[in-house]
Amino acid sequence: MPAWRTFRNELRAALTDRGVVIILLGGSILYALFYPLPYQAQVATGLPVVVVDQDASASSRELIRRVAATEQIRVIGVITEPREAEAMVRAMRAAGVVQIPADFERDILRQEPVQVGAFGNAAFMVLYSQVVTGMANAVQSFSADIVRQRQLEEGRAELFADTLAEPLATDLHELFNPDGGYANYVVPAVLILILQQTFLIGIGMMGAGRREQGLGTATGLGDLLATGAAYLVLLALLLAFYLLVVYEVFGFPRYGRVVEVYWLLLPFFLAVIFLGQALGQLFRSRETAMQTMMLLSLPAIFLAGFAWPAEIMPTPLVWLGQLIPSTPGIDGFVRVYQMGASLEEVRPAQLQLWMLAGAYLVLAWGIARFRPHAAVS
């Protein structure tokens, strides 16, 4: 059969198979719109915090006012008993506690250093860092004002007073993800994983379905390439939907160029397609493809090392992760589109993707050729 006809037949078969099209198109689109929803707020603000005020002075009330004014924190109560406050954190009614010690105002007036306790629920990273950052900012501005006031009372210039409040300061410049949004961090990586998983399922189902019906699967190299091209077209269209629609709907920042994303992801798509063709010959039934990929999504995203730097994983797992197309795919995509890296700067990831594509093509071809009846489950 000429390659063009093989391509057209595969495309038609995939699009008319209800089970497959639900996953390939329905799944890819639905998940991409469904996944970002919990993170839509981007930054957790107004987290409940309880204040333990053991001083009950004008100064402590001023500090509480400043804590309440931070965007991270909503003060839900001012009490005097520390134990009660911790119990509220344990019961998840408060995310943190500000503890103002007794003699707070007296020590400030005596010019003795004072410490304010910043307690945060560190069982959850976002809760802890947001709450403690809010408290630190409030205390820092409160403290700087005291220094400023002392210096002015001693008759020094305001400029000099600022210096003394903070002799060496740090200016923060966020590179990329300007508002520190959680969705901006997670979703780009998840989008790449979604494309991989839905297409591994869809292509796997097609392969398993053919075997179940006793139809021959593509065995020649040319057939594998021609059928693969059908999925490549779908992947290219879905990527356009992600980059144009999904990014627009959720307002994700981007610093890269669409053309470069396509160049980068071309070998990623090929690797996914050929891996799908290889796996499709190993599944005994269509549903197995779906079940397997549902179970592997979570490990795949953590093996990709985007959530936490890969350096800390044991070496065999790092290698295992490098065999999954999404690992270099996510890494390269995030660098190019979210961080504006040039293709030159992501060359290692790109090279790895081409190697994976080649290896999985050989694997798919090898299985088709030498083990025509292979199936594990």
Partner 1 sequence: MRLVLGREWRRFCATPRLWLLVVLVPVLLPTVLVAVFLERAPTDLPVAVLDYDQSHLSRQISRTLDATPGISVVRFPADLQAAGAAVRRGEVFAVVALPPDLHRDVLRGQAPRVQLFYNRQMLTAGNVVMREVRTAIATVGAGIGIRQGVFPPVRTENHPLFNPGLDFARFLALPLIATLLHILIVVVTIDVTGRELREGTAGGWLNAADRRLGPALLGKLLPYFAWFSLAGAGVLALSVQLLGLEVRGSALLWLGGWVVFTAACMGLGVFLTGLFGNLRMATSVASVIISPAFAYSGMTFPTTAMEGFASFWSTVLPLGHYLNLQAGQLAMGSPVSASLIHLYWLIPFIGLPLLVTRRWRQLLADPVHWGAR
Q: What are phi and psi of 32, to 5 degrees?
A: -65, -30
Interface with partner 1 includes 317 (CB under 8 A)? yes
Return the residue of 50, 51, 279, 346 that touches partner 1, per CB under 8 A: 346
Return the residue of 28, 196, 327, 338 that touches partner 1, per CB under 8 A: 338
Return the residue of 162, 219, 221, 260 that touches partner 1, per CB under 8 A: 162
Q: What is the largest CA-CA distance in the chain?
A: 94
Alpha helices in 213-281 (DSSP H): 221-241, 247-250, 258-280
Tell me which stretch binds partner 1 (CB under 8 A): 7-15, 50-58, 170-178, 361-369: 170-178
**Residues 286 and 209 sit within 8 Å (Cβ to Cβ):** yes
Interface with partner 1 includes 111 (CB under 8 A)? yes
* Residue showing tokens 């689109």: 29
Output the six-digit token pair for 58. Answer: 């004008």
Interface with partner 1 includes 315 (CB under 8 A)? no
Interface with partner 1 includes 180 (CB under 8 A)? yes
Output the six-digit token pair for 286. Answer: 């269509």
Interface with partner 1 includes 206 (CB under 8 A)? no
Return the residue of 248, 314, 370, 373 that touches partner 1, per CB under 8 A: 314
| H or E stretch at 50 | strand 47-53
3-class DSSP state for residue 201? helix
73-79 β-sheet, strand order: 73-79, 47-53, 96-100
3-class DSSP state for residue 76? strand
Interacting positions 117-156 with partner 1 (CB under 8 A): 117-129, 132, 135-136, 139-140, 142-144, 146-147, 150
Nearer to partner 1, 221 or 260 (CB): 260
Q: What count of residues does the chain have?
A: 377
Tell the smallest beta-carbon distance from residue 98 to partner 1 (Å).
9
Return the residue of 48, 204, 276, 329 that touches partner 1, per CB under 8 A: 48
Say how far apart CA 68 and CA 285 lie, in whole Å.
Answer: 58
Interface with partner 1 includes 319 (CB under 8 A)? no
Return the residue of 38, 216, 366, 372 that touches partner 1, per CB under 8 A: 38
Tell the smallest beta-carbon distance from residue 27 to partner 1 (Å).
7
3-class DSSP state for residue 289? helix
Interface with partner 1 includes 21 (CB under 8 A)? no
Return the residue of 71, 81, 84, 345 that touches partner 1, per CB under 8 A: 345
Q: What is the DSSP letter of 215?
A: P
